[in-house]
Structure 1
């Protein structure tokens, strides 16, 4: 008999097939060695739209809301470009999966979708919509290496045991549908003038917007204040100088300059002595292993041009290529069962490192701790070493690999010296403090060549007399908080703002948070930030995230304030987490959501009519690149080429973007080239590639053939040596180009 394995994506199905040494690929599946491996493309099914339940919902009318279906239903997902059509690829693959599952020789189904809420939902929605009577199992893996696939297949579990994970996934999906469909529709009807993009309202979207809004307001309302420090320079007997800052109690910043001026006057012609000296050796531990939020924060902060969404996509690619473990994790520690496997991975990765002799495997509670693992362990490399990576993949992989190696390097050590200096013959409330720091052991910092700045203090002993060389009052101004970056925003979302301290790197803070209490999940936070940009609620300036005017008006006006509340959203996410852990019921959660949705709709309806967003209905005209040489109308850029805007009346002028003549020389037509051709009849093109691979420059003309209505390219060189005309691809179908 044969078992069907359903993977979430074709790339994962390929990994499983390779592990099972199956080479026979058919249309939509692999088969061999007692298994059939087929795949989804992520979600093949989606929830019904409101209009699928009731035709009247095809047009948004205030009186039709709130709308909550009696029972939620699924359909084949819509085409991405046309929501009125089904996705033909999804439809075809679903038929393939159904055919395979219904075969007489099949004695079981194995869901091999990602081990998380979303993966469980994807697999179960397909399997149970097809309605199989075959037993269903679950393959639970954290990586797709051959060894793990084979081990996992020996330990498959009955799928029914994952029902709480499905309940959490369904609850999240239905809740977001109910809140999103109802409140987006009603808010758009109430607060938007003109037709266009809807005014997006979401359970995770709005509290995230509010975080950025609050920081912007905090910065705007910030009033800078002056403060003062008293600093002095002391000289030892052997002519060495050191600096000290005056401190009373724990206060070194003084609002009153006069207070310090009085003290400064008393310092004139005085000497001093070392009243105390403390030297301590301290350890510096490496930062914890990456979870997804910390990986996104690290990469977006370190490299230009990265977003958290891009980091997730690249990490997902590395996961599907078997080079790293599951990336959508909230954990920064490893399960204790992974000790032996981790030691082998470390041995493999350490072989060629210049500091390999310093790497020592240790079973540390800081690395292996079941109490700090939620569903998935931290992101670490697998035993498979990549031979070739793209530049983006290399940056993410190297960060994950380095962070992993750091855990098994020596602890960095430094010596911290604290000197207290008192002024002779004055009864001051405070004294001068000097701090020094010297790195003793580089340790894990070698991995990324992290340079530590040493602050050296002279060698002095308690009661040593020192000379007071100089003293001055330094004037400084308090600084406003910094704008949020993706790094700091992700941290607030991860912890719902609890124990959050600016740019702090303390993962200990994260572990202190009640499990599951957050905004969104590791898998959805990047998508939320991206959507906030896409719908125009926030914008990026360098690495900073700022609220747009539309985003501000929405926060100021939208009356359902619970949706902006981090505590409220955190409790909802905690409830979903509790459903996974069998501590809360799907039924109670959904009733809570449906009641909240109905109440929110009524709240919006009863508010005053205010315009938050006015959508311009003016049609955007396309840029004219020049006059058509055939009919004189404007030539414009279309999706597939640069064509005449008079195509409806039969004008055939077009330069295809995939023009074969140019493609043979590794070039594509550009706006600049087309403008030059239309204006001057000739375009200077640089960097063409010959058949032998040599680069050259030339003048190109695009001229009508004398015996038909099509055009051909002609090439000229600086010495006017002219090649024979070469027919370009026939320009029929120009009508489709300019649209």
Structure 2
């Protein structure tokens, strides 16, 4: 009986395919077989390009004279021993006499196409291939994809784009890295460059240079408080024309003096309605940006959660998309999707019912076939979801996508915006107010009219406020006028959210979603690769995370200073390459022409490094001032301001060091300059601790003070002297806690810290021969033999939260499990109960 071999990208997808197809499957080695089908899988990328010395042994040694390396035909090999074993298994299946055809069921995109094509290329097969194109992993979607297999030739442009991207990255990255390293670096300090990573680094480094060069300017503002005859109060900011900044203190003091405490008049009240459209559906980049802004998720973390919702739980459609629209063939499913979302959790029920009750769905900003490429926007799937199985990260991502999906079918939110001008002492003050009249799409997020209290305010403009009902000509009183001294601020550092937007728009500053939509084909990288680019820059030591901010390291700054304005640093050039790759994918440009241009660029890039030497990569450090202890200079370093006499831990020089972070206080370069001028001893810089309030723990008597990462009690001395243990973490559950938040929490005796774990052991470890004790930790009950990821001890652990259980395992239950030698509750609480076996039987 002739059979067709289906190859998926991951083993889990192979299982999903067998579950969706109507035939009965049996497991045979690495494959599942039925009467007509054989289903196997890769494990991601099995094949990679060979190293340069595989083309010529002289390339084993890095020499500038041997560059550029331009293979006539690229060769490939298995990535590692595990990949080789899997690749050999797939090759054997492809060559089976009873396998007459192949189906490419790898992920529907460039990477999935390349994974499959390299497997078949290295097998040497000429058997016919068809394509299964999945946009979601529900059983219905899988069956439909297999019933409507696409001709392989139809996907040839996608393969061309995938190969072109891969080969261009190799040519530019390999040659530029070797050229830069042999001329300006060393084999112990490799200068890694790349087609996408280098312009991305340039965005961050140039922003940091701009911040370092920024010189703040002083200005002043005057804020006035007003009261009506009925003692209704509001505030206003002085403004003349469009200017609300005053260049000198004397003029600000004069304005405050003439306005404060005098009768005033409302000279103008302007009320106008505003409409706010629902945000567009998510593509991957927008999802990553908003998850970073809301929860502090990295792009990599968001992608992992979205991918889990797609292939593991089948609750979301394919996440690696760059479209924010749906195709018209999905229109008949939209109401049922809303119904499934509404039934998934109580918070979705009301907005879902609204969508289902519409006579016709508003599709103008939702459906556009011309703006859907390989995949449509990320939306919930057309099946009943089980949200109890989702991890905390996956649940948050599902919530974002589900609410956005429901919101796009709601009407605009309606506001009334009010601008009031009040004159006091001949000076005018502007006040702003904004009231939510009709929640519209915001109802999908739980908002109702009159509840828009989370107001965003430009500090200079003054906060939007609940204004009293004022009329033109109304007499009021200016109760006070206050002068505020301010300074201009440098541009903000990149967060992952703002960097992803900059990568999407090739460095152009665009805030509008529709404008960004028009530019996304010429961005840096693709939605599927941007997270990996950021992580690669961190791994290379070029950038680092500081909270939610991304900052270039000294090494990263040195690379960009060396390159200057070289084309490799220009986001626009790399963006134009991405646009050409998109044209190749659409069949509008030839792969050959693109690769010829990449080869020429590679040659000119190598030639550019010909006159460079190691001085080009010298790190430039800011001089703070002369060292108070010796004849050296105090230099700014990544974490300190220290003397140039320092060489290493073994040669610390005079030892003068001011740490940038002292407790909760950050020492700025300007403060460091003053401290050095004053010859302050760094040892005297005790951490300034601001008191939040008295400790609410009964009988404690301590104070809650601000520390670097928390607000904690002064009774805490060390890990062994924990005092009363009261603490509020500055960041918990994806939310930042401000000083004012902490004050309110202390006053109410609240904390965001989990309950302290008991020091008493749960019981003796049941692993034979271990001898350890099971103790309670933050997320588990584990053996004391565990020391670290490298020293795991016997490995016995009971996780407090286990998939499918729907509750946490409390201490009493953990004690019973330990006594029974189990790591999970029996029966329906967890399908696979793990009993502890003697060490010699573990493999069995």
TM over 0.5: yes
Question: Any residues of structure 2 matched to 1:173-212 within 5 Å, and which?
Answer: 173-193=166-186, 195-196=187-188, 198-212=190-204
Structure 1: how far apart are the matches of 2:301 and 2:547?
16
Structure 2: how far apart are the matches of 1:13 and 1:432?
67
Structure 1 residue 247: deviation in Å? 2.2
1:301 matched residue in structure 2? 293
Structure 1 residue 358: deviation in Å? 3.9
* Deviation digits for residues 142-176 of structure 1 (CA, Å, limit 9, x no counterpart): 11111111111222111111111111111111111
Does 2:317 match 1:315? Answer: no
Structure 1 residue 600: deviation in Å? 1.3
* Deviation digits for residues 219-264 of structure 1 (CA, Å, limit 9, x no counterpart): 1112222222233333333332322223222222232444455555
Residue in structure 2 matching 1:142, options 135, 150, 153: 135
Does 2:641 match 1:525? Answer: no
Structure 2: how far apart are the matches of 1:256 and 1:270?
23
- Tell me, what secondary structure is at the counterpart of 1:523? coil
* Deviation digits for residues 310-355 of structure 1 (CA, Å, limit 9, x no counterpart): 2212222221122211111122222232222222111111024256
Relative to structure 2, which stretch is displaced further, 376-385 or 393-402?
Answer: 393-402
Residue in structure 2 matching 1:30, options 25, 29, 32: 32
Question: Any residues of structure 2 matched to 1:553-632 within 5 Å, and which?
Answer: 553-558=558-563, 561-610=566-615, 612=617
Higher relative contact order (CA 8 A, sep 6+): 1
Q: 1:132 to 1:481 in 2, by over 3 A?
A: same
Q: 1:51 to 1:284 in 2, by over 3 A?
A: same
Question: Any residues of structure 2 matched to 1:201-280 within 5 Å, and which?
Answer: 201-261=193-253, 263=255, 267=259, 271-280=263-272
1:466 matched residue in structure 2? 476
1:101 matched residue in structure 2? 94
1:647 matched residue in structure 2? none
2:379 matched residue in structure 1? 380
Structure 2: how far apart are the matches of 1:560 and 1:480?
23
Question: Any residues of structure 2 matched to 1:418-429 within 5 Å, and which?
Answer: 418-422=419-423
Residue in structure 2 matching 1:338, options 317, 330, 341: 330
Structure 2: how far apart are the matches of 1:493 and 1:165?
22
Q: 1:441 to 1:564 in 2, by over 3 A?
A: same
Does 2:435 match 1:438? Answer: yes
Residue in structure 2 matching 1:59, options 58, 61, 66: 61
Contact 2:423 2:429 in 1 (8 A): yes
2:156 matched residue in structure 1? 163
Residue in structure 1 matching 2:71, options 69, 72, 81: 69
Q: 1:444 to 1:674 in 2, by over 3 A?
A: closer
The unaligned stretches of length 5 or more in structure 2 are: 356-360, 456-464, 620-646, 650-766, 775-781, 794-810, 821-836
* Deviation digits for residues 592-643 of structure 1 (CA, Å, limit 9, x no counterpart): 11111112112212223437389x999xxxxxxxxxxxxxxxxxxxxxxxxx
Structure 1 residue 580: deviation in Å? 1.0
2:47 matched residue in structure 1? 45
1:508 matched residue in structure 2? 514
Does 2:501 match 1:491? Answer: yes
Contact 2:773 2:784 in 1 (8 A): no
Structure 1 residue 7: deviation in Å? 1.0
2:367 matched residue in structure 1? 368
* Deviation digits for residues 697-721 of structure 1 (CA, Å, limit 9, x no counterpart): xxxxxxxxxxxxxxxxxxxxxxxxx
Q: 1:468 to 1:62 in 2, by over 3 A?
A: closer
How many correspondences in the alignment?
630
Structure 1 residue 288: deviation in Å? 2.5
- Tell me, what secondary structure is at the counterpart of 1:459? coil
Does 2:792 match 1:693? Answer: no
Structure 2: how far apart are the matches of 1:673 and 1:372?
46
Structure 2: how far apart are the matches of 1:474 and 1:510?
37
Structure 1 residue 136: deviation in Å? 1.4
Structure 2: how far apart are the matches of 1:212 and 1:559?
14
Q: 1:662 to 1:158 in 2, by over 3 A?
A: farther
Structure 2: how far apart are the matches of 1:156 and 1:664?
57
2:627 matched residue in structure 1? none
Contact 2:70 2:171 in 1 (8 A): yes
TM-score (norm 2): 0.69
Structure 2: how far apart are the matches of 1:44 and 1:594?
26
Q: 1:212 to 1:43 in 2, by over 3 A?
A: same
Structure 1: how far apart are the matches of 2:494 and 2:214?
15
Structure 2: how far apart are the matches of 1:282 and 1:175?
48
Structure 2: how far apart are the matches of 1:729 and 1:347?
51
Structure 1: how far apart are the matches of 2:309 and 2:267?
58
* Deviation digits for residues 187-228 of structure 1 (CA, Å, limit 9, x no counterpart): 2222224x4363211111111111111111121112222222
Contact 2:224 2:260 in 1 (8 A): no
- Tell me, what secondary structure is at the counterpart of 1:217? helix
Structure 1: how far apart are the matches of 2:116 and 2:790?
49
Structure 1 residue 589: deviation in Å? 0.9
Structure 1: how far apart are the matches of 2:509 and 2:474?
43
* Deviation digits for residues 542-600 of structure 1 (CA, Å, limit 9, x no counterpart): 12111111111111124681111111111111111111122221111111111111121
Structure 1 residue 660: deviation in Å? 5.8
- Tell me, what secondary structure is at the counterpart of 2:615? coil
Structure 2: how far apart are the matches of 1:71 and 1:33?
40
Structure 2: how far apart are the matches of 1:241 and 1:184?
64
1:14 matched residue in structure 2? 15
Contact 1:659 1:668 in 2 (8 A): no
Structure 1 residue 532: deviation in Å? 0.7
Relative to structure 2, which stretch is displaced further, 446-455 or 410-419?
Answer: 446-455
Structure 2: how far apart are the matches of 1:674 and 1:208?
34
The unaligned stretches of length 5 or more in structure 1 are: 80-86, 619-657, 678-686, 697-726, 731-739
Structure 2: how far apart are the matches of 1:189 and 1:3?
50
Contact 2:495 2:550 in 1 (8 A): yes
Structure 2: how far apart are the matches of 1:520 and 1:659?
52
Structure 2: how far apart are the matches of 1:691 and 1:358?
44
Q: 1:500 to 1:133 in 2, by over 3 A?
A: same
Structure 2: how far apart are the matches of 1:28 and 1:672?
33
Q: 1:575 to 1:444 in 2, by over 3 A?
A: same
Question: Any residues of structure 2 matched to 1:402-421 within 5 Å, and which?
Answer: 402-409=403-410, 411-421=412-422
* Deviation digits for residues 1-26 of structure 1 (CA, Å, limit 9, x no counterpart): 42221111111111111101443122
Q: 1:663 to 1:597 in 2, by over 3 A?
A: farther
Does 2:479 match 1:477? Answer: no
Does 2:278 match 1:286? Answer: yes
Structure 1: how far apart are the matches of 2:104 and 2:47?
16
TM-score (norm 1): 0.78
Structure 1: how far apart are the matches of 2:771 and 2:136?
44
2:738 matched residue in structure 1? none
Q: 1:435 to 1:32 in 2, by over 3 A?
A: same
1:390 matched residue in structure 2? 391
Structure 1 residue 448: deviation in Å? 4.3
Contact 1:191 1:613 in 2 (8 A): no
